[in-house]
């Protein structure tokens, strides 16, 4: 089997913490032959650590895309660059894995969809939390109809104090937002996927800029103090999403909020036959899945213990999520099968997140259909 040749555009945190370590363990399927970053030292370091012999280094992604030997491109840049790079990569005939969120606006996300469909290549978005073992089990439970009709869900992305202090996370122009677009996107993706409901009709949102500029709020931040003077994005956001069939999802996201429980990349599902709760995040030593229902005259909780913490590679049962994500992505290309995360699903996540921001800005409900 000929190995897929992969080029990485963006060699920052997500590349170093997820993509490069995972892909390097799949040397039977791929080799990393090109690295691009606007900071040349980052690309050079990545190439030295993870690159195949003769791996090339670029500061201009257009030059990387000119290399016809590259089969696959991973787009691992700040959010606002996802669209132009992805569109150009498809035009250059590459398969594309783009990190979450798909884009910071639905207009950009649509351009990516259009370019993908025109290219005939494979496309997926980096929602690695779908590959956690307890999430996989819950999805099978939902697919089997064991919860019945899932008519209400909660998407949890709450950090008590965990504002990222590296990269461009507080930069609104480059990221498009704060915790809502950064970690809220994971929780919403999981909840939509479990409900298998991608027909939102209206969104109402509230976005808060309360703690980011308060010097005393930085106390206890797990990543160290952030700079209140340069903090541009929201510190928390909340949304209510209604769907064509009458179902609803409540979304909560925060990097900094005075709530005791830190619950991230988690979901709550309410069905006609049973309910489900996924607990993960900094308040939990291990991820948990609990199915609740009435049974033989009593209310019961069935607890399934899963993997380690919510971050990329902390222990767990089976393959680590980032590695499982990379494996199925490469297999989808090699076997011409569909990746687990479909572009159309990721588009709906971006559309909803954008509508929450719009609703908060205008004070009005945003109608999507």
What is the distance between the alpha carbons of residues 143 and 141, in angstroms, rounded to a whole number?
6
Interatomic CA distance for residues 176 and 83, integer angstroms: 13
Closest by alpha carbon to 311, among 75, 76, 128?
A: 128
CA distances from 295 to 61, 132, 142, 302 (A): 58, 28, 18, 11
Residue carrying the six token digits 């500029």: 213
Pairing relationship of beta strands 56-58 and 123-126 according to DSSP bridges:
unpaired
Which pLDDT score is estimated for 315?
Answer: 44
Which residues of the chain fall below pLDDT 70?
1, 305-318
CA-based R_g, the chain, Å: 20
Q: Is residue 352 a contact partner of residue 188, using CB atoms and an 8 Å limit? A: yes
The pLDDT of residue 247 is 98
Q: Do 310 and 250 meet the contact criterion of CB atoms below 8 Å apart?
A: no
Q: Which of 125, 106, 155, 76 is nearest to 353 (CA)?
A: 106
| Chain centroid to CA 38 | 23
Backbone angles phi, psi at 96, to 5 degrees: -130, 125
- Token digits of residue 4: 């897929």
**Amino acid 305: pLDDT:** 63
Contact 258, 105 (CB under 8 A): no
pTM for the model: 0.94
Quick check: helix, strand or coil at residue 326?
Answer: helix
Q: How many CB atoms lie within 10 A of CB 252?
A: 20
Q: Per-residue pLDDT tens for 267-325?
A: 999 999 999 999 999 999 999 999 999 989 999 999 986 555 545 444 445 689 999 99
User: What is the reported pLDDT for 316?
Assistant: 46
Residue ranges and CATH numbers for the domains of the chain are 4-129 (3.40.50.720), 130-318+342-367 (3.30.360.10)
pLDDT digits over 135-161, tens only?
A: 999 999 999 999 999 999 999 999 999
The gap from C-alpha 2 to its chain's centroid, in whole angstroms, comes to 30
The pLDDT value given to residue 318:
66
Q: What is the pLDDT of residue 319?
A: 84
Whether the ω angle into residue 101 lies within 30 degrees of 0, i.e. cis, is yes
| Residue whose pair of structure tokens reads 């080029």 in the numeric block | 7
Confidence at residue 2, expressed as pLDDT on a 0 to 100 scale: 87
DSSP lists the bridge partners of residue 268 as 154, 277
* CA distance from start to end of the chain: 46
Strand order in the sheet with 95-99: 56-58, 30-36, 4-9, 72-75, 95-99, 123-126
Sign of CA dihedral 13, 16, 19, 22: negative
d(CA 38, CA 12): 10
């Amino acid at each position: 089997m000929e190995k897929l040749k992969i080029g990485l555009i963006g060699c920052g945190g997500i590349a170093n913490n997820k993509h490069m370590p995972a892909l390097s363990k799949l040397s039977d399927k791929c080799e990393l032959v090109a690295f691009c970053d606007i900071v040349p030292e980052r690309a050079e370091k990545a190439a030295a650590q993870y690159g195949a012999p003769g791996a090339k280094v670029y500061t201009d992604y257009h030059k990387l895309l000119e290399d016809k030997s590259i089969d696959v491109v991973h787009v691992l840049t700040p959010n606002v660059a996802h669209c132009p790079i992805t569109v150009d990569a498809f035009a250059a005939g590459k398969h594309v894995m783009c990190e979450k969120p798909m884009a910071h606006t639905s207009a950009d996300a649509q351009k990516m969809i259009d370019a993908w469909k025109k290219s005939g290549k494979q496309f997926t978005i980096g929602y690695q939390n779908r590959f956690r073992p307890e999430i996989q089990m819950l999805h099978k439970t939902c697919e089997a109809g064991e919860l019945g009709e899932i008519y209400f869900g909660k998407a949890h992305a709450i950090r008590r104090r965990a504002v990222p202090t590296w990269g461009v996370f507080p930069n609104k122009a480059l990221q498009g937002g704060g915790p809502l677009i950064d970690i809220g996107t994971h929780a919403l993706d999981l909840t939509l996927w479990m409900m298998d409901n991608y027909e939102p009709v209206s969104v109402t949102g509230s976005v808060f800029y309360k703690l980011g500029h308060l010097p005393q709020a930085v106390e206890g931040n797990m990543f160290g103090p952030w700079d209140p003077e340069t903090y541009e994005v929201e510190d928390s956001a909340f949304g209510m999403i209604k769907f064509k069939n009458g179902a609803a999802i409540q979304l909560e996201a925060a990097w900094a909020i005075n709530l005791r429980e830190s619950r991230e990349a988690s979901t709550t599902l309410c069905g006609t036959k049973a309910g489900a709760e996924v607990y993960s995040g900094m308040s939990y030593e291990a991820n948990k899945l609990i199915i609740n229902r009435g049974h033989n005259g009593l209310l019961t909780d069935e607890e399934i213990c899963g993997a380690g913490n919510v971050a990329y590679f902390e222990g767990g049962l089976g393959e680590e999520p980032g590695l499982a994500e990379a494996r199925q992505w490469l297999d989808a290309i090699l076997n011409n099968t569909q990746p687990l995360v479909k572009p159309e699903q990721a588009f709906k996540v971006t559309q909803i997140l954008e509508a929450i921001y719009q609703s908060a800005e205008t004070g009005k409900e945003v109608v999507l259909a």
